[in-house]
Structure 1
């Protein structure tokens, strides 16, 4: 039987998502850019494809490592998480499974893609790709703790995040935190380090993600954090409860849908953190 690209479904940005227009623009761009027939993966063909759908053909050259100039390709967007937002600029960190097929060679990788967008004349447009999700490390430096995270069925990682762990970029405290929080819940990770904006969006301070000291979780037990955000807070809300538990385990940089103070610390919230839990260590 001949090889075929995996079946995909268009991603629907739910009505309860924050910055829905931004997310929809990012999804439209990715699905147009990374879905093409044999021979349609060149930079020139990709620019024409985007333009033909009324989309700005920005960032295509940067996306070249994701494309196959002689093969065919498809993408399954898994989740577009906010990475930063101002009145006219945004970052979307999209977890996406990128597949290419050339002859009998099928390649599939789940990556974290950092798309940058700008609002022009009332419309959000992708202006470029800041990250294509990295590449496998030439040598794995992971130890027992990292191996436990990588092999856990309750911690859902992209290839991008797995590469971060294998390369030794992730603080051991964060790995322990993931293992502890996943004892009773399945955690879907959006980003660890690679794929996150270098600086806190709109500022000059380097993000703790880049230092390997923070993780963003976009779903708990298969339910989006943005859906939990619409429910009452408190111990009965799994997202709220995980924020509180992270504090009790020593994390001291906690962002999410709610700002609250407890015995072990306090959390922060804003529009960007309505769709994920940011759990980290300041130092």
Structure 2
């Protein structure tokens, strides 16, 4: 598997690359090499070896193993600090069997002397049996072949941490589009990054979508009809907090756009149910 490489339109790709190299170093272990300690792998990636202490499930259960980023999406972007919410596919060998899982992590970075480095790791502990506990619309969503849900997102559903309006909106959209979800709640910064305001993700009232019909949102031109049609479809679900690469309705409307949301569509509900 190849290391993650940024495509076109990525904002400050060096930030995501710094996060990706750390996640790949933690999760990629050659045959015959122990999973831990990982200090040498981190040092080779230009990262602080002390990050291993917070790696948790970013270290695979056994080796040989490979970690490949599904997508590293921004969770926050300021002048000298950033959050990258990464979904990582881990593949490892367990005896004669090959296993895999999706692990979500909030990776915090800082810039000093012009260089971005990883300062904190906040992985979400996998819950492999989360889907089995689901019922009703949440179970329908998790079982849909048209919606890619990382394990952390399925666990949020199982914990009943996701607003039913968000579930309903995704089911409605999935009738027309294939969706790739980054996060609901777990793996997202608690507050709107750089502020003291509680994020609607924390309230369970939002979801981030990084790809539609297999196409990364970041790859879409801002004036592309497909993107504009999808944003209109999101609006038709009743969402009143829609972030994305472009703001179709201008200041004071339901949509908003900034550099942070160039790489995903945020579907949220500002008002409580």
TM-score past 0.5 threshold: yes
2 CA distance for matches of 1:157 and 1:70? Answer: 24
Aligned to 1:46: 38
**Distance in 2 of aligned mates of 1:124 and 1:193:** 26
Give the 3-state SS of the residue equivalent to 2:201 in structure 1. coil
Tell me the residue number matched to 1:31. Answer: 24
* Structure 2 match to 1:4: none
Q: Deviations over 1:77-127 (max 9, x none)?
A: 111101101111000011111233343464421122111111111111011
Looking at structure 1, the residues matched to 165 and 84 of structure 2 have their Cα atoms a distance apart, in angstroms, of 26
**Partner residue in 2 for 1:219:** 211
Q: How far 1:189 moved relative to its partner?
A: 0.6
Is 1:159 paired with 2:155? no
Equivalent residue for 2:15? Answer: 22
Q: Relative to structure 2, which stretch is displaced further, 183-192 or 241-250?
A: 241-250
TM-score by length of 1: 0.87
Paired position in structure 2 for 1:5: none
SS of the residue corresponding to residue 61 of structure 1 reads helix
Q: 8 Å contact 1:58–1:127 — kept in the other structure?
A: no
Q: Give the Cα–Cα distance (whole angstroms) in 1 for the partners of residues 125 and 185 of structure 2.
A: 10
1:278 matched residue in structure 2: 266
8 A contact 2:222–2:245 mirrored in 1: no
Structure-to-structure mapping, 1:58-207, within 5 angstroms:
58-68=50-60, 71-104=63-96, 106-136=98-128, 142-207=134-199
**CA–CA separation in structure 2 for the residues paired with 1:134 and 1:193:** 14
Confirm whether residue 247 of structure 1 aligns to residue 235 of structure 2. yes
Structure 2 SS opposite 1:60: helix
- Measured after TM superposition, the shift of residue 138 of structure 1 is 7.0
Give me the whole-angstrom Cα distance separating, in 2, the residues matched to 1:147 and 1:132. Answer: 21
Q: Which runs of 5+ in 1 are unaligned?
A: 1-7
Distance 1:27 1:273 in 2: 19
Aligned-pair distance for 1:225?
0.5
Does the residue aligned with 1:114 lie in a helix, a strand or coil? strand
Larger helix percent: 2
Deviation at 1:169, TM superposition (A): 1.5
Deviation at 1:195, TM superposition (A): 0.8
Equivalent residues, number: 269
Counterpart contact for 1:192–1:212, Cα < 8 Å: yes
Single out whichever of 59-68 and 23-32 deviates more from structure 2. 59-68
Deviations 1:33-89 (A, max 9, x none): 2111334311xx311221134332242111133325764321111111011011110
CA deviation after TM superposition for structure 1 residue 164, in Å = 1.5
